[in-house]
Amino acid sequence: MATSRRAVLGAALGGAVAAGLPGIATPASAASWQLRWSPSASSDKLRAFETIEDDRADSHTSAAPHIFAEGDNFRFNMHTVDRDTSTDRQRHEVTGCRNGSSYLQWKSGQTWRITYSMYIPSTLKATTSFTHIMQMKQPGTGSSPIVVQSLRRVDGAQTIELKLFDSNILVGRTALEPLHNKWTDVDFQIKIGNGSAGSVRWILKSGGSTVIDKSKSGVDTFLADRVRPKWGIYRSLGDSSGSLQNCHMLLTNMRGYQLV
């Protein structure tokens, strides 16, 4: 089992220009990242999130809970027998960023940043069909994701990627296997806007070195109401590579910032 990741993420939290988020021309002196969410798994536990989607179909109650706090980490367990309410897929996810009795509301025109560390064991493999480990969505049922961070087989190779879902725009993609069985730092930034008013930036770091740093501007990052982040394991059973097996994922040092 992986040990807790206690080191603070290496990304410096300075002004907007230092962050380099595309589409923002505001001088650094006029805008900066303000910490809005900093849960502790050991003390806040699952109260850190707005909602919990743990085996919604009660398909594997003997293994409950599938999502829980384990020391300083949030742990997501997935078993091959687990099923979502849509039986062609599996889903154990958490949504939103809760602060006590309230939660962050990401609105159109705002810019948000999420940083955290994730541990992906070699048992959590990329698949030929979808395996999402982070999504940006409009709350409620029936809407498509806005942004997805996914584990995908590309020409047989395991990769991790970020895409704008509806437009199928690839922001970036890199090899997954070098990131297996170790902690990877994630820095995700989103300017929320309709049409061409939005932008995203995606950074992965491992062992203090940048693995990938990609961004897209002039993209649509808003559907309606608000944007809400999701984390966990959400995967299709339609994989044809034989990659589905019992697995887990760990998240820690989760932080949420707003550019103000």
Q: Torsions phi, psi of 178, nearest 5? A: -65, -15
For residue 111, pLDDT beyond 70: yes
217 occurs within a structural domain: yes
Q: Which residues constitute the domain of residue 60?
A: 16-259
3 occurs within a structural domain: no
| Cis, bond preceding 39 (omega within 30 deg of 0) | no
Q: Torsions phi, psi of 44, nearest 5? A: -80, -30
Digit-coded pLDDT (tens) for 147-201: 999 999 999 999 999 999 999 999 999 999 999 999 999 999 999 999 999 999 9
76 occurs within a structural domain: yes
CATH assignment at residue 152: 2.60.120.200
5 occurs within a structural domain: no
Tell me what pLDDT residue 4 has. 52
54 occurs within a structural domain: yes
**Listed residue (66, 81, 92) closest to 237, CA to CA:** 81
**Listed residue (181, 35, 53, 176) closest to 115, CA to CA:** 35
Tell me what pLDDT residue 233 has. 98
Name the domain count of the chain: 1
169 occurs within a structural domain: yes
**Average pLDDT taken over every residue of the chain:** 92
247 occurs within a structural domain: yes
State the pLDDT confidence band at 30, using cuts at 50, 70 and 90: confident
CA pseudo-torsion sign 249, 255, 259, 260: positive
37 occurs within a structural domain: yes
Q: What global pTM score does this model have? A: 0.89
Digit-coded pLDDT (tens) for 63-72: 999 999 999 9
C-alpha 134/C-alpha 92 separation (Å) is: 11
